[in-house]
């Protein structure tokens, strides 16, 4: 009996030394609710069909060291040409480009048709909505601007990589404004305005240093929506070989 008692006592001692099975404890980590997905980037611009008609004419080559200027006029619109709201839109556009401010550019874009952009007169036309205009200075979307008139190779690149640098250089030159008159220097083609609406031509006549072959014209088409002017197109012209 003593032996059984000793064995039983040892069994009790060993049981006390064995680990007690752990009881599952509820996790202290709070449940995680994922954030809603970020706003998706704006869709690529709509690509439109180029409607410019060009006429090759070697007789239009500029004469060296002689500034040349010609113009193509739209129907006169005194109310448009004298509207201070229009000049305010052009000034705001200039500021948006120089400061790369999409929030300033966006409300200038035509809310109905968007803004056509033609980097080359015979290239592709890309149309941006007001929403897309907010992101033009940060978007990396590689747009196809069409064939370069000199190399014939297609130019691709984001708006802020292709269009903005050229506009920034131009807008710091001594250019003149012409209402509904497409002023341009000597060219190997006939610059034509592809729309029926009103516009302002921003014209730089070139410099004597380059025989005035560095003339440059940016045209801003402006139309009214509910009595307020908006930009519906942006087009550039320059000398082409």
Q: What is the pLDDT of residues 82-95, one digit of tens each?
A: 999 999 999 999 99
Distance CA 148, CA 240 (A): 10
Reported as a pLDDT band with limits 50, 70 and 90, residue 66 is: very low
Reported as a pLDDT band with limits 50, 70 and 90, residue 135 is: very high
Residues across the chain: 241
Is the model's pLDDT at 222 over the cut of 80?
Answer: yes
Is the model's pLDDT at 127 over the cut of 60?
Answer: yes
Q: What is the mean pLDDT of residues 63-70?
A: 45
pLDDT at position 241 is: 82
Question: Higher pLDDT residue, 98 or 38?
Answer: 98
Is the model's pLDDT at 166 over the cut of 90?
Answer: yes
Distance CA 172, CA 160 (A): 17
Let me know: does 198 contact 180? Beta carbons within 8 Å.
Answer: yes
Is the model's pLDDT at 51 over the cut of 50?
Answer: no
Q: Which two tokens stand for residue 7?
A: 């064995």
Let me know: does 233 contact 115? Beta carbons within 8 Å.
Answer: yes
Identify the H or E element spanning 177. Answer: strand 176-179
142, 197, 235, 237 from 202: Cα distances, Å: 27, 16, 10, 10
Whole-number CA gyration radius for the chain:
33
Digit-coded pLDDT (tens) for 8-17:
444 444 444 4
Question: Could you tell me whether strands 228-238 and 115-118 are parallel, antiparallel, or unpaired per DSSP bridges?
Answer: parallel
42, 67, 165, 190, 204 from 212: Cα distances, Å: 40, 6, 21, 17, 10
List 118's β-bridge partners, or say none. 125, 235
pLDDT at position 190 is: 79
Let me know: does 56 contact 188? Beta carbons within 8 Å.
Answer: yes
43, 114, 204, 239 from 61: Cα distances, Å: 41, 35, 17, 9
Q: What is the mean pLDDT of residues 112-136?
A: 95
Q: What is the mean pLDDT of residues 183-188?
A: 82
Question: Higher pLDDT residue, 232 or 39?
Answer: 232
């Amino acid at each position: 009996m003593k032996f059984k008692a000793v064995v039983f006592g040892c069994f009790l001692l060993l049981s006390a030394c064995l680990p007690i099975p752990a009881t599952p404890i509820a996790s202290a980590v709070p449940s995680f609710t994922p954030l809603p997905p970020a706003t998706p980037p704006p869709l690529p611009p709509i690509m439109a069909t180029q409607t410019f008609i060009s006429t090759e004419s070697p007789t239009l080559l500029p004469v060296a060291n002689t500034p040349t200027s010609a113009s193509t006029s739209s129907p006169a619109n005194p109310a448009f040409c004298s509207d201070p709201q229009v000049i305010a839109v052009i000034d705001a556009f200039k500021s948006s480009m120089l400061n790369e401010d999409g929030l300033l550019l966006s409300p200038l874009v035509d809310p109905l048709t968007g803004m056509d952009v033609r980097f080359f007169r015979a290239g592709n036309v890309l149309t941006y909505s007001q929403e897309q205009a907010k992101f033009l200075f940060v978007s990396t979307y590689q747009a196809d601007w069409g064939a370069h008139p000199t190399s014939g190779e297609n130019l691709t690149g984001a708006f802020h990589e292709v269009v903005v640098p050229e506009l920034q250089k131009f807008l710091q030159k001594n250019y003149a404004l012409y209402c509904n008159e497409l002023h341009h220097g000597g060219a190997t083609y006939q610059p034509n305005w592809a729309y029926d609406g009103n516009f302002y031509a921003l014209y730089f006549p070139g410099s004597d240093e380059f025989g005035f072959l560095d003339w440059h014209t940016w045209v801003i088409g402006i139309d009214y929506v509910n009595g307020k002017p908006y930009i519906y197109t942006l087009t550039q012209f320059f000398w082409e070989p």
